[in-house]
């Protein structure tokens, strides 16, 4: 097994918990806040150390671009560091690219994956996401800024029947499609922004104007 320091183990567990609970790895700022670091640079140094040891992969140009390495990946890296054990490497298949439709503006009353909503199709590495997405949604607005989701980003979305409190979802509200953090209390659903300039949206669970379109499982961002 990889030899990690106590702090590295702590950060790795924090990443695992964040992905399990919200579908997203934490930002550097969230790691720094959670562990009491004075700056995000300290979090970045620990992440780079984890990447060098093969525990995670850091993808440039991807917001929250931290990927947990699977057991096979980690085993292969450990074995490759010992010259006389290279023959024990487990074969690692090239990942099959996902073909994901990009959803733009959504017309009122029609399915989110209707052909008229599809602007393009992207071929992407499935390893970028916490679970397999069904489509990409172009983010509009800055209501989720503090969660690292910005205007123009491509949000990877998985179609689901239900979600947990704290997860980031895509919801339909009447004529609008919105990205928010989900919280349900009793018969009330709150759609929470991650920007103090925006107010939460509240709907009742029996409100026909509300529909769950999917769970956010990753993010793509163009730096050009």
Residues with a catalytic annotation lie at 143, 180
Closest by CA position to 53, among listed 8, 2, 5: 2
Calpha distance 206→189 (Å, rounded): 10
Q: What is the CA radius of gyration of the chain?
A: 19
- Helix count (H) and strand count (E) of the chain? 4, 11
- Alpha-carbon distance 145 to 49, whole Å? 27
Q: Which residue(s) pair with 101 in the sheet? A: 121
Q: Which residues of 114-127 are buried (b: 16+ CB within 10 A; e: fewer)?
A: eeebeeeeeebeee
Is residue 26 within 8 Å of residue 34, measured between CB atoms?
A: yes
Q: Cα dihedral sign for 32, 140, 194, 68?
A: negative
Measured distance CA(176)–CA(108) in Å, rounded: 7
Sign of the alpha-carbon dihedral angle for 187, 191, 194, 195: negative
């Amino acid at each position: 097994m990889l030899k990690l320091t106590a702090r590295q183990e702590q950060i790795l567990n924090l990443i695992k918990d964040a992905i399990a609970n919200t579908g997203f790895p934490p930002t550097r700022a969230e790691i720094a806040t959670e562990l009491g670091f004075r700056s995000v640079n300290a979090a970045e140094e620990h992440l780079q150390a984890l990447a060098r040891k093969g525990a995670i992969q850091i993808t440039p140009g991807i917001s929250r671009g931290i990927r947990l390495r699977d057991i096979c990946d980690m085993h292969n890296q450990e074995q490759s560091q010992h010259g006389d054990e290279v023959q024990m490497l487990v074969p690692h298949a090239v990942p099959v690219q996902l073909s994901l439709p990009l959803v733009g503006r959504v017309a009122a009353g029609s399915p989110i994956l209707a052909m008229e909503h599809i602007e393009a199709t992207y071929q992407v590495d499935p390893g970028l996401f916490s679970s397999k997405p069904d489509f990409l949604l172009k983010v509009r607005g800055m209501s989720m800024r503090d969660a690292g989701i910005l205007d123009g980003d491509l949000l990877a979305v998985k179609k689901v029947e239900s979600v947990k409190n704290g997860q980031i979802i895509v919801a339909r509200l009447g004529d609008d499609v919105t990205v928010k953090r989900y919280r349900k209390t009793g018969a009330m659903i709150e759609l929470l922004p991650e920007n103090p300039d925006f107010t939460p949206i509240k709907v009742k669970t029996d409100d026909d104007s509300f529909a769950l379109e999917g769970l956010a499982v990753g993010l793509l961002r163009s730096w050009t």
